[in-house]
Amino acid sequence: MNKKIISFQNKIFFSLLILFCSDFYFCQEYLKEQFSLAQNLYNREKYFDAVTELKRLQFFDREGIYDFESNKLIAECYKAGGKYSEAIRFFSYAEIYAENFDDLFDIKIEIVRANILRRTASNAIKLLNEMEKEDRWSDKINEINYWRGWAYIFEDKWDIAAFEFAKISPYHELKTLCEETHQKKYSLTFAQVASAILPGTGQFYTGNYLSGLLSLAWCGLWGYTAIDAFVEDRIFDGLAVTNLLFFRFYRGNLQNAARFVREENIRIANESLHYLQHNYKGPRP
């Protein structure tokens, strides 16, 4: 009787064991297939559908086997779709499930890259500075400096970017590019001071000769009229011309000097950014 009971108990035990293993095996297989499907959609650039399939994977993946890979791929889909805030959110989830330091470092760099593209480069710089302080990334300092250089490029601080690339190598291609860009740029302070001393010179400095001549002419005309009025004791007329006309054109001259410098500097920066986006062969955000 006892033998029969033991034999029956063994059957139940083995049945359950086989059921569990088969469930686990088939479940694993279906999850693997689902992940492959999502990857396939990602490779075919169907990012919205890929995110749907990855969310399906996450919903059915009760064990959390694919937590890291699914969150990382969802983030990459959002990044490719230009939705950087969502990308950063899912990279942050992937960071929690990273299983080794290499994966963790890669994810942190992805967050930095997404921040750069989102034009929140200051966040990227903060993250990189924090990573630099940690001992575990001491062998990856070149990569940290590289992405910090890119962050400064997007902050339009080309001189500091050149300094960061110089830390990697004094002959780094991006160091040269950043230095050249910085040298081509016009000085805002110089333009404003020049225009303050002689109206129109700030515009001449940036090559806007016609605007400079007009500024000089108007300021000259109203300045002469005001002085003439004061000399002839027409104080009210002199004050009216000075306040309503001379100062208006003088202020306009200073504004234009600054505006033309900003426009030119943006044009110079955009030329370099266009090169970096379309011609530069190295890793980009």
Partner 1 sequence: MKIICNIFLFLILLNNLSAQTEKEKWGKTETDYRINYHNEEIKNPEPKSYGEFFLHSVHSAYRFFISDVDGDNCPFQPSCSAFFVESVKETNIFQGSLMFFDRFTRDMNIFKKGNYPIIGGKFYDPVEQYTFTEEKNLLMPE
Partner 2 sequence: MKKYFFFLLLFTSVNAQKLNNLHSPENIKLFADHLFSEKDFLRAALEYEKLPEDDSINFKIALSYQAIEKYDAALDRFAKINYESNLYHISQHQYFKTLLLSEQHDVLQRKIIISENTDYQKYLYISYLFTSDKLPGKDEFLKSFPSNEKVELSFFYEKKKNPPYKSSLTAGLLSALIPGSGKIYTGRIGDGITSFITVSLLSFLSYNNFTNDHDFRGWLFAGLGFFFYAGNIYGSAVSAEIYNSQVDYQFQKKLKEYLEQKNYFISE
3-state helix, strand, coil in the chain (%, to 5): 85, 0, 15
Instruction: Reduce the DSSP state of residue 171 to 3 states and report it.
Output: coil
Residue from the set 6, 8, 10, 11 that interacts with partner 2 by CB under 8 A:
11
Q: Is 211 in the site for partner 1 (CB under 8 A)?
A: yes
Q: Is 10 in the site for partner 2 (CB under 8 A)?
A: no
Cβ(53)–Cβ(41) below 8 Å: yes
Residue from the set 72, 83, 108, 157 that interacts with partner 1 by CB under 8 A:
83
Residue from the set 6, 8, 10, 19 that interacts with partner 2 by CB under 8 A:
19
60 binds, among partner 1, partner 2, none (CB under 5 to 8 A by kind): partner 2
Q: Residue 119 — φ and ψ, nearest 5°?
A: 70, 25
Q: Is 11 in the site for partner 1 (CB under 8 A)?
A: no
187 binds, among partner 2, partner 1, none (CB under 5 to 8 A by kind): none
At residue 226's C-alpha, the angle toward residues 223 and 229, to 5°, is 150
Please state, in angstroms and rounded to a whole number, the distance separating the CA atoms of residues 237 and 224.
Answer: 13
Please state, in angstroms and rounded to a whole number, the distance separating the CA atoms of residues 53 and 48.
Answer: 9
CA-closest candidate to residue 199, choices 209, 212, 180? 212
Q: Which of residues 26-55 bind partner 2 (CB under 8 A)?
A: 26-27, 29-31, 34, 52, 55
User: How many other C-beta atoms are found inside a 10 Å radius of the C-beta of residue 165?
Assistant: 25
Contact residues toward partner 2 (CB under 8 A) are 11, 15, 18-19, 22-23, 25-27, 29-31, 34, 52, 55-57, 59-60
Contact residues toward partner 1 (CB under 8 A) are 45-48, 80-83, 86, 89, 93, 96, 117, 154, 156, 211, 214-215, 218, 248-249, 251-256, 262-263, 266, 269-270, 273-274, 276-277
